[in-house]
Chains A and B, each alone.
Chain A
Amino acid sequence: MRREIVTSLLAVIVFTILLGVVYPLVITGVGQVAFPGNANGQKVYVDGRLVGSKIIGQSFTRPVLETNGKPKEEEGELVTEPDPRYFQSRPSATEGGAYNAAASTFSNRGPNDKATEEADAEQAKEYLALNGPYDPGLTVAEIPVDAVNTSASNLDPEISPANASIQAHRIAAKRQLPLNVVDGLIGRYTDGRGLGFSGEPGVNVLELNLALDRLTGGAR
């Protein structure tokens, strides 16, 4: 019995060193040498400034200004609205503001929950208000579900191609670009299915918006 107790303690300690220290450090070494970009989060820089991670979604919203030109606040929080010059990511409900990548969280909206319906309806209304003026005839029934439903991580870096092509009308008008140029960019930043069958194609919103900025020399 005593020998078994000693072996148990020794085994746990030896395994902790092997599996809890050596193994992660070896993998870290491999990652930092062979895949440094990936291992450090695929950081995206613009003019030396870190603007985000390629594979973490972010908001493209701007502060709402009061009539006196100051940013509007409600209960100490900045009020924001979608910046119409940028493609908009999926709705996000992380705590501490949308797309808080320091605290990923599920929205946990139930399928039979009245609050889910209200959130969906509200989101659809906002989407229509934002895109309807540039895409006449757009109705709630035509809005792709990903534009209304929150994602699992609430950090989804992608939107569906259908969602992007609706927003393309607005982007083309706001940035004075031909629609086919915007559609071409969408095609370029659409990631296909894994191995050709796994998952759904998605448009990387950050990459697409960066390409737009490069094309038009910033957000104008």
Chain B
Amino acid sequence: MTVAGWLTIAIFALLLTALAIPLGSYLAKVYTGQRVFLSPLLGGPERLLYRLMRVDAGREQDWKSYAKSLLLFSLAGWLLLYLILRTQDAFFVPHALNPLGYHSAPWNVTFNTVSSFVTNTNWQYYSGETTMSYFSQMAGLTVQNWLSAGVGIVVAVALVRAIVSRSGKGIGNFWKDIVRTVLYVLGPISVIGAIVLLSQGVIQNFGSYLTAHTLTGATQSIAMGPVASQEAIKLLGTNGGGFFNVNSAHPFENPNGFTNFFEMLLVLIVPAALVFMYGRMTGNRRQGYAIYGTMMVMFLGAVVVAYVAEAHGSPAQHAAGLHTHAIAGSAGGNMEGKEQRFGIAGSALFDVVTTVTSCGAVNSALESFTGIGGAVPFANLSASEVIFGGVGTGLYSILLYVLLAVFIGGLMVGRTPEWLGKKLEAREIKLAGLGILVTPLAALLATALATATSGGRASISALGKGPQGFSESFYAYLSQSNNNGSAFAGYTGLIQPNAGNVGAHGVTFADLLGGFVMLFARFGPIVFALAVAGALAGKRVTPAGLGTMRTDNPTFAVLLIGVIVLVGALTFFPALLLGPVVQGLTGHLY
């Protein structure tokens, strides 16, 4: 461990908070229809988009109508993306958009990929530079990076609106929300982000792959592509699907220590700001601070564990006689699967940043993390995306937990639970409970299926290597059900003997199971969250009395952490013990 490492973590937390507070105020204005500094510039395009899409932006929707628009929009996106990916080598696609002449990936892998991008998961069985044409990457995958992020954000916004609404059943207009999200929120930050990344060495071109003649006379082929535009939104929208196979570990996606820091900020800025937006919109900013504090405590805990574990080194390194402590000119640690320019701290922090959110980008090989270091992403995923979480997803997920915590608190003091002046009744609690259970249900059932059947075991690369094989499978379905997308990358669903998909075939079991898990665990909780919104909208508000439990102080934050940890631990502990915990407790090699 190094001083610079700890400093990175501290500065990151402070800077994130400092940037997220003003952005939260901005978001509150955007979603309550107030003028912002970008309105003069974007008002015209906004109205143009409404006209092109034939949207009546003034119409309020109730939760059912809102959910219907959202599901139809996602379905349309799914169909178009499937079409684009399956026709990437069709006769009508110009050569410049597919300069390497890559065939489409098989149908089963494409089913998985499309479901993955539409659900903001970005789980990738394919490897970008040997599978996808430039057109598929930019007009197919990148578009869903924007839209799936937008869908997550608008659900959170609709839920918050319902919580604070005083009358009526309306929770906003889906089309207006998604257009404003793209234009006012994701658009400006993404453009600035892409330009900053360009200035640091992220590539952006449509050239053929380079052929270099190295100093010692060998040839090296170097993949190219329009990377910066996709990189910025991939991080900002907590999507995580890399242009290249190795994602943000690739020097063309993440060239130096500064970009690594900047990319982590891009990932967390919107999820963090949404929490402050929530505080603003409730009219009591401390409501936001309590939730932010809850998230930050769990986040920092995860970072410390990951950093210490990775700096310690792995049993394999020690058995080989390597010394892993820091020496002059080398920070030591478990450098297997990590880049020199990021070091241990930059890798551990990135790992936590992208697994607490639904981002799932990686800048180091999770499969090579130590048992305990690897248990951290497991734990983050087990918390079901409430530690900041995906854009929007994080806020609506933790608000469901807040509901549960208020309910449990109410039971403890023996009063009807109240939240922001609204009485919580059986319907809301049932819906929130169901919403919380969807993800663990999908994760555990799929893992059980995948480890108990030979079809599922066909995907495991560490088969017969002790707990690592189980860890791989478990992580695969935990990640897909949380719409995260990071992977213990040995787990495979595409056999691709040659670049360009010549002779490639998918592992149907893993492809389909994963695809359905992602769709179910994405749209299930969304529908429940919107249903909760419907139940809360227009509920009568009674002024807080002496016996009202406060939800804006540290005591409540502690209760909330307790509920989250308890639910996560009770659900996932047995499975975690079989994989990463065993590996962390033993120095034994398999």
Contact = CB atoms under 8 A, between A and B. Distances in A.
A19 to B, nearest CB: 5
B53 A10 contact: yes
Interface residues of A, number: 115
B205 A24 contact: no
Given A8-B72, A55-B201, A151-B340, A112 B322 contact: no
Contact of B210 (A50, A143, A144, A165): A50
Contacts of A24: 138, 142, 204, 226, 229-230
Contacts, number: 428
Contacts of A120: 316-317, 320, 322, 336
B284 interface: no
A182 interface: no
Classify the secondary structure of A's interface with B: mixed
A100 B337 contact: no
Contact of A146 (B7, B8, B138, B340): B340
Given A24-B226, A114-B589, A124-B322, A102 B209 contact: yes
Given A151-B249, A152-B246, A198 B365 contact: no
B311 to A, nearest CB: 11
A157 B465 CA distance: 31
Contacts of A23: 142, 190-191, 229
A86 B216 CA distance: 9
Interface in A18-56: 18-21, 23-24, 26-28, 30-32, 34-35, 38-43, 46, 49-53, 55-56
Nearest to A195: B258
Contacts of A136: none
A197 B75 CA distance: 45
Interface string A176-220: 000000000000000101110111111000100110010000010
A93 to B, nearest CB: 10
A197 B8 CA distance: 6
B191 A42 contact: no
Given A38-B198, A111-B368, A145-B330, A52 B80 contact: no
Given A101-B223, A121-B320, A197-B8, A11 B76 contact: yes
6 contacts: A50-B212, A51-B212, A58-B215, A103-B223, A148-B317, A158-B340
Given A32-B204, A39-B198, A106-B249, 17 more contacts: A3-B54, A16-B80, A50-B211, A59-B214, A102-B499, A106-B365, A106-B368, A108-B461, A110-B367, A120-B317, A141-B322, A145-B334, A145-B335, A150-B336, A152-B246, A200-B346, A219-B215
